[in-house]
Structure 1
């Protein structure tokens, strides 16, 4: 009996010891393990959900994943590689990724007003039509990049552009009024293909930082008739709209007869406000580039036949791809540099005619070779005509250089007047006294036009040369 009792006590004690050992093992297993994988630096553990599952979430985008040890960390590694916000390397980087057709970007905040502003500025900057915002293809791109973008019509663009014009008008108006010096204007009339008349008005001035500025103030419709009275009223009203009628120094116009009447009326109106310097002696400046054009056009009349032949030669060579290849072969056989382009002219601009003659003269051997190899080419000048073109190009180069310098808009040009006009006058004297009757006839006609406009000059050009440091040496 005693032995049996002792055995039961021993068996009970052993069972209790086994239970304690199991409890210790269970507690050891339940103890929180240290997370050693590198993925846990990008994820945070969440409390167990209602189903008892353990979850974690991404610290960058907030995506949730199962975090049980049975699931492993492979899905977490894959998320790190494709997480849009986590893969951004530097500030300002814009990464686009697709996930089931949606567009995910690092830009979490989308501003519809800012988007509209950027589109309107693009239309202004690249001279696009207002209907650009109604192109279905463009909106497909916008929707792909940002699903939250909203459509807007051309009327909205028109409204925004008017609003921008109002802001820019006010800014430029303030800048013109704050200009420390006087303002010079240039103006010209223009007729469109639809025979509508327009007038442009441009301001040139030096700002407070001594930087030359050029601003197109107006490009306005002007109804007929385009008389001197109508032009004067239009220019004066535009100047008053900008509030600069008392800050004007000079106005540059071409040599149309209506402009003489226009200037006299403007002077009368400005005298009433005591706004002229030296009673308007310096106010009117004739466009030097336009005068050069008139002078040279008279000289080009003498070689109209040659110019027509060269113009037709250019059109013939550029008429088809086969002719171009045939001309290239002629250039290769005459050992000329084929990199120089053949230029066609615009008959109303003499300097483009000069460039056409110059390029044709460079390839004159190739044209002669083409005439021998192509019986259809009948417009090649003769040897005597080529000599005339050579003399003419050498003579017109002086005028071309002056026109290029006078046409500059990013630098003052009044100080360039006397140096160029003086060289032109010397060239005309030289050719008029030469033994070449052909060149003498041309220069005599050009001298008549030269003296018509430049026998008297604006004293402003003398002052400009005096102030130019380059001529003080």
Structure 2
């Protein structure tokens, strides 16, 4: 063997052939120091990398040579016929000393003590996929792959992989999008029920319009799924015809045009025309249940926003004072320090912090008021210590702020509840809306003019949208075994009186919807030949076929009996005793367990419980604060922007990290820098926020 071979890199253990790397004969040019003798007496050179971790300990009683691990002392027979397979497995997977240090990596030394790292071989393609996922998940620019620091880090870690260019990274992201899209299509195909949609419009700083279409459905394992189907460029005009055509195109692209149950939109009047257009198109192929009776769902979070915003207009003076107080305290480091001194003087916790609101988001206004009221004494102290501070609320105004926070807490919690994506929300609608009604009525009867004026404005808006409860969402609460029909009767009697027509309407539509599922199930399970499937051979046979048509009445009677039998699923369910309302019930687990007993009713529950009552779920794809199309990315092509948004949603799924929360926008005062951020950095604006949502 050539002497230069000692400088070669020792191959990793994963590349060795088990049992074949025993002991090789020493080459002729390296035998000068070897005693002469027979072939059996010649010493053999051990070339396997494992010998850097083992040492020869001699022969045992049977005369077989043994070696032991340098780290743990484990012994193995190491004669030529036994090979090094056992020793290699010991070092890789079994040695407790090495596994304690790093179970995935070990350092070996060759005869010249050169260090080497042993790892599982990875492919360059896998590396590129990881880079693409990193760009998508962490909202990184494509130039990330060309940052000198990143390239230096990768080069230091391994010379096995080569960082790609930004164009290659972009192509890899598009490939990742196609792969993930195929997975989502498979998930939709395997879903046994219908699909509910949410749709909203977004605008970039370049005023380009984008439509976000999201699918909500319960999969075969009874798990609620939320998937962004498209984030596509939407050129003007944004009228009902254009929007409806775009949605129809997307439904056909995903091959779900015949499986739609509902679509949740905001309360813009133009959406009524959009839904009418969409319903007419889908009804051509009879793709909707009950002729689309339950297709349109109004966004409940949007309605709550409208109700609360109307109420806040009545008390704008107090809110303005608190907002200006927070702005004053954070206007400079000197003022911030002075306010901190006032906090210490009145013995309050400075770590609790203040919040600055976003005026178009009332929930951030609530958080601002709630944080400011805690420092009530500190504000008073600041007014005495700083003559330039002019916006401190009076004692009576602070009392009203305290009452207001308690009042708004219900609306804040309800909005958060309605906007969930990990759990069904349709069955949450009726109890919360009913409590909202009672809260407003209680304040209308109050002697406090402050609350009476505010509640009056809010009640007017409440009646506009919620005087009549949504029928499909009333059906949803019936399918909750803690409420059932009794709760609908309880609420309607208090709202509309006993034996109201609204209650009868809900009952009628409940059974009509259930019959749709019974008919569909019967059609799938029973195959009845049509008259055309039996060709006639004579006029007499033709007359028999004609007479057979009369027997359709008999067939229909049998079908009617089947429907009656199947309807008892609903009857039996309604007759069963309600569960305790206070129990923590996973309603999807309930219907999953009862599916064998109530197959058609469970199928209906699957679809009804999929209905999202808030369209803002699509915002979960923009958890980085709406930076998908900021001023630095306005040059992105629409297909690239869609790939980034959709892939991020598909990879993250419904994880907590994917949810945008207002608390992340209205950060703690003590962690904020001065107001030096230009307004243009607020990059992605939901069009509804322009309308005050």
1:122 Cα offset (Å): 1.9
1:38 is matched with which residue? none
Separation in 2, partners of 1:115, 1:166: 18
- 1:78-157 residue pairs with structure 2 within 5 A? 88-89=98-99, 92-95=103-106, 104-107=116-119, 109-157=121-169
- 2:456 is equivalent to residue 444 of structure 1: yes
Contact 1:103 1:147 in 2 (8 A): no
Q: Does 1:165 align with 2:177?
A: yes
> Using the alignment, how far apart are the partners of 2:239 and 2:317 within structure 1?
36
For residue 225 of structure 1, give the secondary structure of its aligned residue in structure 2. coil
- C-alpha distance in 2 between matches for 1:159 and 1:212: 32
Does the 8 A contact of 1:182 with 1:249 survive in 2?
A: yes
> Normalization by structure 2: what TM-score?
0.56
Name structure 2 gaps, 5 residues minimum: 1-21, 35-43, 57-69, 72-90, 484-577, 581-693
How far apart are residue 365 of structure 1 and its match?
1.1
In 1: Cα distance, 2:350 partner to 2:109 partner: 50
Query: CA deviation digits over 1:166-195, x for unaligned, max 9?
Result: 222222112212211111101111222221
**1:214 has 2:194 as partner:** no
Distance change (3 Å), C-alpha of 1:147 and 1:364: same
- Within 5 Å, which residues of 2 pair with 1:6-405? 47=26, 49-50=28-29, 52-54=32-34, 56-57=45-46, 59-60=48-49, 88-89=98-99, 92-95=103-106, 104-107=116-119, 109-405=121-417
Q: Secondary structure at the match of 2:29?
A: coil
1:259 CA drift (Å):
0.9
> Is the alpha carbon distance of 1:60 and 1:418 closer, same or farther for their aligned partners in structure 2, counting shifts above 3 Å?
same
Show the counterpart of 1:30. none
Which has the higher Rg, Structure 1 or Structure 2? 1
How many residue pairs align between the two structures? 417
Give RMSD over aligned pairs: 2.9
Cα deviation for residue 465 of structure 1 reads 0.9
Q: Is the 8 A contact 2:342 2:382 kept in 1?
A: yes
Which digits, 9 at most, give the CA deviation of each residue in 1:227-281, with x for residues without a partner?
A: 1222111111111111111100001000011111111111111111101111211
CA distance in 2, matches of 1:145, 1:463: 59
* TM-fit CA distance, 1:310: 1.1
CA contact (8 A) 2:197 2:263 kept: yes
Q: Give 1:95 deviation, angstroms.
A: 4.8
Equivalent residues of 1:251, 1:284 under 8 A apart: yes
Q: Distance in 1 between matches of 2:326 and 2:152?
A: 45
> Separation in 1 of the partners of 2:23 and 2:33?
15
Deviation at 1:144, TM superposition (A): 1.7
Deviation at 1:469, TM superposition (A): 2.2
TM-score by length of 1: 0.81
Cα distance 1:89–1:301, how it changes in 2: closer, same or farther (>3 A)?
same
Q: Distance in 2 between matches of 1:334 and 1:419?
A: 42
User: Which range moved further: 50-59 or 408-417?
Assistant: 50-59
Matched, 1:416 2:395: no
Stretch deviating more after TM superposition (210-219 or 191-200): 191-200
Partner Cα distance (2:196, 2:153) in 1: 46
CA distance in structure 2 between the partners assigned to 1:238 and 1:364 by the alignment: 53
Return closer, same or farther for 1:44/1:319 CA change in 2, 3 Å cut-off.
Answer: farther
Aligned residue for 1:292, secondary structure, equals: helix
Q: Quick check: 2:240–2:271 contact (8 Å CA) kept in 1?
A: yes
**Structure 1: which 5+ runs fail to align?**
1-42, 68-79
- What SS is found at the alignment partner of 1:344? coil
Report the alpha carbon displacement of residue 110 of structure 1 after superposing the two structures with TM.
4.5
Deviations 1:362-393 (A, max 9, x none): 11111111111112222211223222222222
Q: Contact 1:255–1:287 at 8 Å: present in 2 too?
A: yes
